[in-house]
């Protein structure tokens, strides 16, 4: 583990592009888009989809969004994305041409979703339905954070699913899926194979992506000042990510 405060900025993207082939994996919330009190309150930059598509073109297709949100949810906010993307923490992965990659995933069992919805209503936190999971958001009511975390972890363990924490959120997802598994799935495809991967993200769930890229000869880039990380580089905020990516 490294301390984020001791990390420096990554080499300029233009510099990386002049060397060996690289691949970029980009988190969404807190990395490309500023965090908001509720998941639906975000404000992506203008022409987000076309800017990301242009970036992917510069990398000859070796660029993917890897988000905890579902793919449908992201596209509701930014429009259709002409690039590779993994949603729901790697439970739903598609190539730039829309083809599914990996094993696919099953939806959250009704019993788990009902329990999460009831907890959210009783404790005044927000429930987010996902095609392949569910999340409790407590950013607007942080006093319920510890209770939400404990409830979701116990519920996931009871049903053989996995709970993972983020910034003011606890999510239940399929046990085999995380952002690291998404990186490995992309890197096994013909478009990404042989590239040096870089993962840019801000949250605890991005650590699996950082670790996967490091294992494959690349690196992680942490956004923000969170203390402990396996990332090798750091960018201070969303604006600096946009600048680094030249979008």
Residues annotated as part of the active site: 27
Q: Which helix (H) or strand (E) holds 166?
A: strand 162-166
Residue 183 is classified by DSSP as H
Q: Name the token pair of 46.
A: 């203008």
Q: How far apart are CA 146 and CA 231, in angstroms?
A: 27
Per-residue burial over 107-118, b if 16 or more Cβ lie within 10 Å, else e, is bbeeebbebbee
SS3 (DSSP) at 227 = coil
Instruction: Give the gyration radius of the chain's Cα atoms.
Output: 17
């Amino acid at each position: 583990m490294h301390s984020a405060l001791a990390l420096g900025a990554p080499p300029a993207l233009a510099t990386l592009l002049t060397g060996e082939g690289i691949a970029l994996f980009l988190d969404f919330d807190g990395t490309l888009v500023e965090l908001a009190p509720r998941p639906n309150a975000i404000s992506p930059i203008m022409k987000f989809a076309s800017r990301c598509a242009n970036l992917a073109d510069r990398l000859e297709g070796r660029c993917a969004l890897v988000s905890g949100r579902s793919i449908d949810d992201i596209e509701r906010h930014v429009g259709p994305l002409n690039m590779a993307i993994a949603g729901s923490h790697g439970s739903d992965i598609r190539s730039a041409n829309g083809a599914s990659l990996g094993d696919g995933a099953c939806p959250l069992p009704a019993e788990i979703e009902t329990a999460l919805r009831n907890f959210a209503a009783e404790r005044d936190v927000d429930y987010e339905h996902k095609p392949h999971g569910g999340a409790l958001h407590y950013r607007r009511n942080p006093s319920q954070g510890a209770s939400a975390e404990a409830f979701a972890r116990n519920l996931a363990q009871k049903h053989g699913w996995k709970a993972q924490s983020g910034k003011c959120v606890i999510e239940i997802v399929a046990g085999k899926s995380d952002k690291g598994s998404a990186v490995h799935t992309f890197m096994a495809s013909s478009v990404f194979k042989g590239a040096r991967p870089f993962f840019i993200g801000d949250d605890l769930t991005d650590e699996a992506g950082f670790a996967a890229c490091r294992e494959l000869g690349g690196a992680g880039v942490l956004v923000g000042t969170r203390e402990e990380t396996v990332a090798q580089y750091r960018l201070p905020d969303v604006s600096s990510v946009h600048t680094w990516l030249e979008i």
